[in-house]
Amino acid sequence: MRSEFDFINLLRQRVASSSQSIVTGIGDDAAVFRNNSGKETVISTDLLVEDIDFRRTTTPPYLLGHKALAVSLSDLAAMGSRPLWSLISIGVPEDVWESDFIDRFYDGWLELANRYAVQLIGGDTSRTNERMVIDSIAIGECSAGMAVKRTGATPGDRIFVTGSLGAAAAGLRLIERGANLGDEDLQKLDHVLLRQLRPEPRVGWGIVLGEERIASAMIDLSDGLSSDLNHLCAASNTGALIDASLLPIDERVVELCGRRALDPLQLALHGGEDFELLFTVKPENVARLPRRVDGVEIKRIGEVTEANAGVKISEGTRIWDLKPGGWKHF
Ligand code: ADP
Ligand code: MG
């Protein structure tokens, strides 16, 4: 069966862009085009399908609203752009329509939107038979020529990641095993549950890395480090060498895995939905990196290599292929 990514690649070839104003079409975290004010407009859309991308029974509506916007803001951040507007379409079954679910959903959505002054400018509402569907569109802007694409990495660039890895995947496993989400008293929830249910898009880092021209290429970690690094390397036509000992694995993940004899490295490499930014920086620009933005630190985890060296990871003296092992819809 063809993969989601083969399908996207074929589609991209069928619609090869002829318009001068398109900076980036299919194949990046968001589409980018030049607008009349001399800036670039950045647009991303994300579909959330009940029982595929989330479970209504284990996702408090308030946090689902937050997450629907967060995933789109993360894609805008991955282009180095500032979020401005959003459209949101919902398809809901009758039982949801008759409950207060949607109102709570928009409470969570609006709280995150207000934090970044993102304005809701439209959407659509329809009915489904059983399961909810949410389509979240976010629109942002960056200075002309400043959008950070997946294609810009070259051998020798250093590879960095924001924040920490593995917690969202660990949180999902706890939820699947019946973790009690209580009555939405967020303060009492385990930190890994919140990393799964309430991802924080790295909006501030995205803007700094783009507008200060620090990052040469960037992608957000939605599918998992192994998959998303492979996407970035394929787009840039490079390889990469990651040092496992440098990965900022979430401390709580290490603790939880230790108790269950699980391997935290597997969660950090292949677990999706951390929504951190993975980016590359030319050696001469490394000194310009701020230490932290909005309280979030970054970590250097490896280096971009030639394409024929492949995408690899070293652990002590061992080196192996880092194959995409993250989330796939098909
Ligand atoms: P992300 O995980 O960053 O949201 P995706 O893997 O969903 O990115 O998409 C990669 C690229 O493929 C994006 O440019 C996206 O717009 C495009 N894309 C995905 N699905 C479709 C589709 N059904 N039709 C057209 N373009 C698509
Ligand atoms: Mg993305």
pLDDT tens sequence across 227-253 = 999 999 999 999 999 999 999 999 999
In CATH, the number for domain 158-321 is: 3.90.650.10
Distance, first Cα to last Cα, the chain = 8
Ligand 1 atom at minimum distance from 220 CA: 3
In CATH, the number for domain 4-143 is: 3.30.1330.10
Domain(s) of CATH 3.90.650.10: residues in the chain: 158-321
Tell me what the mean pLDDT of segment 249-270 comes to: 91
* Residue 134 pLDDT class (50, 70, 90 cuts): very high
Quick one: pLDDT at residue 329?
Answer: 82
* Residue 55 pLDDT class (50, 70, 90 cuts): very high
| Cα 129 to middle of ligand 2, angstroms | 29
State pTM to two decimals: 0.95
If one counts every other C-beta atom within 10 angstroms of the C-beta of residue 327, the result is 17
Tell me what the mean pLDDT of segment 284-299 comes to: 98
Quick one: pLDDT at residue 229?
Answer: 98
Phi, psi dihedrals of residue 315, rounded to the nearest 5°: -135, 105
* Residue 187 pLDDT class (50, 70, 90 cuts): confident
Distance (Å, rounded) from C-alpha 97 to C-alpha 90? 11
Domain(s) of CATH 3.30.1330.10: residues in the chain: 4-143
State the average pLDDT for the chain.
Answer: 94
Quick one: pLDDT at residue 179?
Answer: 82
Distance (Å, rounded) from C-alpha 96 to C-alpha 90? 11
Q: Which residues lie with the beta carbon below 6 Å from any ligand 1 atom?
A: 8, 11, 26-29, 46, 75, 222
305 vs 13, residue with greater confidence: 305
* 3-state percent breakdown (helix, strand, coil) of the chain, nearest 5: 35, 30, 35
Question: Which residue has a Cα nearest atom 8 of ligand 1?
Answer: 29
Q: What percent of the chain has pLDDT over 90?
A: 83
Quick one: pLDDT at residue 182?
Answer: 64
Q: What b/e string do you get for 104-129 counting C-beta neighbours within 10 Å, with b at 16 or more?
A: bbbebbeebbeebebeeeeeeeeebe
Ligand 1 atom at minimum distance from 71 CA: 4
Quick one: pLDDT at residue 184?
Answer: 58
| Cα 276 to middle of ligand 2, angstroms | 10
